[in-house]
Structure 1
Amino acid sequence: MASAATLPAARPPPRDLDAHDKLALDVEGDADLDRAIAAFDESTMDSADPMVVMSYYRHLLPFRQLFTWLNRASGSAPSRNFTHREFAFTLQNEAYLRYNSFGTWEELRKEVLRLNPARFEIGPVYTAKPKDRKTVQKTSFKPVSREFVLDIDMTDYDEIRTCCSGKGICRRCWAFIAVAVEVLDAALRTDFGFRHLLWVYSGRRGIHCWISDEEACALPDDARKAIVGWLEVIKGGASAVKKVDVGSGGTSGRNLHPSLRRALGGEGPGGASGPLKRAFVDIILTDQECFRSAEGYNRLLALLPASEQEAVSKLRSKWDASPSRSSLDKWQDVMDCANRAGELRSRTTWRPAMEDIVLQYTYPRIDAEVSKHMNHLLKAPFVVHPGTGRVCVPVDPAKVHAFDPQRDAPTVAQLFKDLNRSRAQEGQGWEKTGLKPFVQMLEKHCKGVADEARVRNRAKGLDQMDF
């Protein structure tokens, strides 16, 4: 088997960092690269190696499907949604190139192969082509359209999860991401009426949502801020004890917004559980055991009603005396206190506090700054995460709970193994690898967007004829 030393030397970054200088590709070098990759031992492959990344771009990255997605048109001709779109490249030497734009997906592919970036990001559609921005007045060069995006990062759950921390992620803590997707997907579709949502695994410990509806893409910054503010429930930094404030219960009970009530489930002991209450039992109490340690249960005690200090003191004494008591048992102790408080205090004080605890531990933690501005750049789907070698692939929200990033997100090494085994088969490179179902997921998303654009264009044509 070939070793890393047999790979061709990595090409240096282009001397001219203008991303629109049309340099010819080194065809002979590419042939050497392909031969080396074909003989490479995938078990020792470094997915971040520049030549491995280059071969991934050449053989596997679905440029045409990315174009169709960003183009958001009923036909195949490039629209302003693509030609006036910003692309940013992070090169292997960490140089950062912004304001690149392309007339076709072939031009984008050629430039990616020339630059061989560690990754590239997608920005908004501008009033002029970003590469020509210096030829127009600065005040007239503005973003006019961009998918509404959401970003959820596992790092924001570090104070809760007990299985991993920092950059780590496993099947157990992915459950936090899964319930976040379940709740947000329902809210975005039901409460806002969005239809074209593309969820994309970030390659390490998070997930992104790209919303391609025409109405979503046209949202100005203030509307984006309003939506993310409405979706945001967890607020406050690491030093904040209580991070949820959605109102207290009145004498007749709590009147939550229907979206939160749907996520939590019915009010009171007899109410059907929603995804958050189910996640609280399955993840927080059972799997993560968030309240088993003294640090964990003291955090829980600090969130109980301040007006019920006698009951809280008794709970603290009981748990200090039984340090190994499970999180499930401790939560049952809290529910027993609520039941003993009487119907009025239970309804107006204990139940709202307990629901706030469920929200604080299970509600989606959104990186709001990513969503607020149209000109924010976000990593493109199907690029390779340099730290893990995993491809940023779409995730079906209906199957997100079954998705395991360590098992299901393909690595570059796995994809080349697939490719080398199927060289005799016909079809594009990705069609012969484990990337195929993920590209098909993007194609399905694109078809929905294109079909809607076709209907919209037909309606506009009828409107123009209506005289």
Structure 2
Amino acid sequence: MVGQYDENVLPDMLPVYYTRLFPQNLFCRWLSCGNSPQPLSNRELSFTLADDVYLRYLSINNQKEFFTLLQKKCPHKLDIGAVYNTKPSVGRHDAVVLARELVFDIDLTDYDEVRTCCQEAKVCDKCWKFMVVACEIINAALKDDFGFQSILWVFSGRRGIHCWISDYEARTLDSPGRAAVADYLCLIMGGENQSKKVHLGSDNLHSSIRRALIVIDKYFDDIVQDQEFLSTSDRLKSFLKMIPDEALRKQVQENLERMPTSSIDRWKCFVNNYNQFCKENLHGMRKMKYLIEEIKIQYCYPRLDVNVTKGFNHLLKSPFSIHPKTGKVSVVFKPDNAKDIKLDEIPTIYTLLDDSSSDNVQHQTNMRTAVKNFQELVFSLEKAEAVRRKTEANTSLEF
């Protein structure tokens, strides 16, 4: 079980894990498609060893070399970098980045101003719902608005999720293109000193925002009940700061402070107050046309680390890497199944390798599911790459 995990035994367990359970073949095939048309050896890998020894600019030519390197170095953490015009271990000072999956990093610590069940590195099933909402919103936008298909979702191992887009068009995006995608997906703006961080204006909402709100509405009541956004005086004070109209803010404050502390009841009361206020103040409601939607977005919309997406040089943890602090596997999951994930059912290196663990059977099953999810993505990516190369070849022949 997770409580029995001991970081000190990691060096003994990792060689066994990498040999028996890490999907080396699929991993190398995934990287090979992500490298195309460059050789696999042009991809940067990074290992974090015991005592935080950090090795960058590693490279491999094939799966056999990868297996040898894993056994020799036994990394506590495995990160993936960009594809260069040369082997990074040889010419890293002059190397030029040619490609990189379009990646997103969503971390629950960025929700600390709104989540109340946990803070910092702590995570529970209640705040995991923020990740469910993020996954569903981002996945739909990537598919519907950008047409991407090869989208890999991975649990980070501790407190968040990673998304890797391997479509050729995504891999070859330049920095401005990556920044444009990231900015398109960002709705929450402003630092910690800014109370209201979402401003949708008064025009008709963009279809992507309406779609995101449909996702939020599926989970909003549950999240409000779990997080109790309005249950204490401090939380209520933060909430009231998001109401720009002084008259409405004062009215809502008076009404909510007279109520019991149930956040869901207080929220419903606020909605009723807002609707009534808008009916009575038609001229003044324009600046608050989407206030309810803005507050929902500020509480629940994905909070992206845009610097990870914009840059080429940022390393990101590999799928099926072990998180050294938790022992959990960075499992691959399907976005439709994010809502069914239970954190205590995510495999750990301990439970996978200890047949006597009470969680062994469950975690073994979940590990196989994660590998199958990865396999399906790799097969799909290989087919897409084959079609792309054939199309490119036919196009070049026509000229």
- TM-score of the superposed pair, with normalisation by structure 1: 0.79
Give the match for residue 245 of structure 1.
199
Matches within 5 A, 1:21-60: 44=4, 46=6, 49=9, 50-60=11-21
> What secondary structure does 1:72 align onto?
helix
Task: Check conservation: 1:175, 1:401, Cα contact below 8 A.
Answer: yes
Matches within 5 A, 1:382-421: 382-407=320-345, 409-418=346-355
Task: Check conservation: 1:84, 1:128, Cα contact below 8 A.
Answer: yes
Task: Check conservation: 2:200, 2:290, Cα contact below 8 A.
Answer: no
Give the match for residue 448 of structure 1.
380
Q: Partners in 2 of 1:359 and 1:275 — Cα distance?
A: 11
The answer to whether 1:162 aligns with 2:116 is: yes
> What secondary structure does 2:339 align onto?
coil
Q: Partners in 2 of 1:420 and 1:401 — Cα distance?
A: 26
Q: After the TM superposition, which of the residue ranges 92-101 and 54-63 deviates more from structure 2? A: 54-63
The amino acid of 1:260's aligned partner reads I
Give the match for residue 314 of structure 1.
251
Task: Check conservation: 2:229, 2:263, Cα contact below 8 A.
Answer: yes
Matches within 5 A, 1:192-211: 192-211=146-165
The answer to whether 1:279 aligns with 2:216 is: no
Task: Check conservation: 1:72, 1:81, Cα contact below 8 A.
Answer: no
Q: Deviations over 1:89-110 (max 9, x none)?
A: 1110212111111111211221
Task: Check conservation: 2:34, 2:171, Cα contact below 8 A.
Answer: no
Q: Partners in 1 of 2:381 and 2:48 — Cα distance?
A: 29
Q: Partners in 1 of 2:285 and 2:39 — Cα distance?
A: 52
Task: Check conservation: 1:90, 1:118, Cα contact below 8 A.
Answer: yes
Q: Deviations over 1:24-44 (max 9, x none)?
A: xxxxxxxxxxxxxxxxx9985
Give the match for residue 27 of structure 2.
66
Q: Partners in 1 of 2:37 and 2:283 — Cα distance?
A: 61
The amino acid of 2:311's aligned partner reads H
The amino acid of 1:378's aligned partner reads L
1:156–1:442 Cα change, 3 Å: same
> What secondary structure does 1:198 align onto?
strand
- For this pair of structures, how many residues does the alignment match? 392
> What secondary structure does 1:117 align onto?
coil
The answer to whether 1:334 aligns with 2:270 is: yes
Shift of 1:60: 1.6
Residue segments in structure 2 that go unaligned for 5+ positions in a row: none
RMSD across aligned positions (CA)? 2.4
The amino acid of 1:303's aligned partner reads M
1:329–1:118 Cα change, 3 Å: same
Give the match for residue 424 of structure 1.
none
Q: Which has more radius of gyration?
A: 1
The amino acid of 2:198's aligned partner reads V
Q: Partners in 2 of 1:419 and 1:61 — Cα distance?
A: 21
1:466–1:114 Cα change, 3 Å: same
Give the match for residue 369 of structure 2.
437
Task: Check conservation: 2:108, 2:160, Cα contact below 8 A.
Answer: yes
Give the match for residue 97 of structure 2.
143
Q: Partners in 1 of 2:28 and 2:372 — Cα distance?
A: 14
> What secondary structure does 1:144 align onto?
strand
Give the match for residue 179 of structure 2.
225
Give the match for residue 78 of structure 2.
120
The amino acid of 1:109's aligned partner reads F
Give the match for residue 371 of structure 1.
309
> What secondary structure does 1:93 align onto?
helix
Residue segments in structure 1 that go unaligned for 5+ positions in a row: 1-40, 265-273, 422-430
Task: Check conservation: 2:347, 2:364, Cα contact below 8 A.
Answer: no
